[in-house]
Amino acid sequence: MKKVLVATVKPFAPAAVEGIKKVIESAGYTFALLEKYAGQEELIKAVEDVDALIIRSDKADKDVIAAAKNLKIIVRAGAGYDNIDLEAASAKGIVAMNTPGQNSNAVAELALGMMVFLARGKFNGKPGTELRGKTLGIHAYGHVGRYVAEIAKGFGMKVFAFDPFIDDEVIAKDNVTPVDTVEKLYESCQYVSLHIPANQHTIKSIGVDLLARMPKNAVLVNTARKEVIDEEGLLKIMAERDDFKYISDIAPDCAGEFAEKYPDRHFFTPKKMGAQTAEANINAGIAAANQIVNFFEKGDTTFKVN
């Protein structure tokens, strides 16, 4: 009997776990759960006899992959798969998938929520600012970027997007203004919201060159990955421009410096929580379980990323 392990340091909502279990057991497979585990050793031990693995931001590194003797498929219940060692997986013929779009609305709502929170001085009672009429640049127009655009338009923001992989017509159809260079996006927008993945092309790619182009009262919004920021460059901008603010879903490595020098010009979530809603957990978790069943039963490799 096939065994499917759900391994999540940051647990799914109970309803999502129930839903995943139901899909797995209805297919005649064994369901196993490892939550809030203390370290990689525990994960390495738990994967030894599993055929399939569902994870979130948990690290499926080369040691985990080497230890999993029967593993055929890893599904990252979410968008970013920078936590899977794809080379190690491919070398063992293990299929890696993500569940694109399933948790995107949750991330987008958090992006706008943090924008309002900071614009209102973190609800300190003093006069803040509004989002209506302000410019918002969406850096990468994927699933999350599209939801951000939709919600931001509801707020009355003027929305722009840069994405070299998406046709301008697709962006324009959503009443979003396509921008043909990344530099222009940063030059045109008071707010820039990041939706790029973390990979060899994007890590540390957001630095002084782009940030210095942003207009007065700039706000950088990061619900993507902290690794895409060149933190040295960001700190330089923060030091040079007292009108620049940074919001991030998960604190950067230099969070201490922000706390000490720029308390009013930043907000960082204490834990990555963009996708931490019951709805997102249910959507992504159950999609992951269905993808595993379809892979074993029908050889379906939709959403394979390696």
Distance between CA atoms of 141 and 118, rounded to whole angstroms?
A: 23
Sequence-distant (6+) residues with CB within 8 A of 200 are none
> Is the Cβ of residue 10 or residue 265 nearer to ligand 3PG in the bound state?
10
Q: Minimum Å distance from CB 275 to ligand 3PG?
A: 4
> Is the Cβ of residue 228 or residue 235 nearer to ligand 3PG in the bound state?
228
> Is the Cβ of residue 103 or residue 190 nearer to ligand 3PG in the bound state?
103
Ranked by CB distance to ligand 3PG, the top (closest) residue is 78
Q: Minimum Å distance from CB 185 to ligand 3PG?
A: 22
- DSSP track, 116-178: HHHHTGGG-SS-----TT-EEEEES-SHHHHHHHHHHHHTT-EEEEE-TTS-HHHHHHTT-EE
Q: Which helix (H) or strand (E) holds 248?
A: strand 245-248
> Is the Cβ of residue 56 or residue 245 nearer to ligand 3PG in the bound state?
56
> Is the Cβ of residue 168 or residue 279 nearer to ligand 3PG in the bound state?
279
Q: Minimum Å distance from CB 124 to ligand 3PG?
A: 28
Q: Minimum Å distance from CB 216 to ligand 3PG?
A: 31
Helices (H), the chain: 14-26, 40-46, 62-67, 86-91, 104-119, 143-154, 168-173, 182-188, 208-211, 231-240, 255-261, 278-298
Q: Minimum Å distance from CB 37 to ligand 3PG?
A: 14
Q: Which residues bind ligand 3PG (CB under 6 A)?
A: 10, 56-57, 78-80, 103, 272, 274-276
Q: Minimum Å distance from CB 78 to ligand 3PG?
A: 3
User: Which two structure tokens, joined as six digits, stand for 20?
Assistant: 């995943």
Sequence-distant (6+) residues with CB within 8 A of 290 are 23
> Is the Cβ of residue 81 or residue 258 nearer to ligand 3PG in the bound state?
81
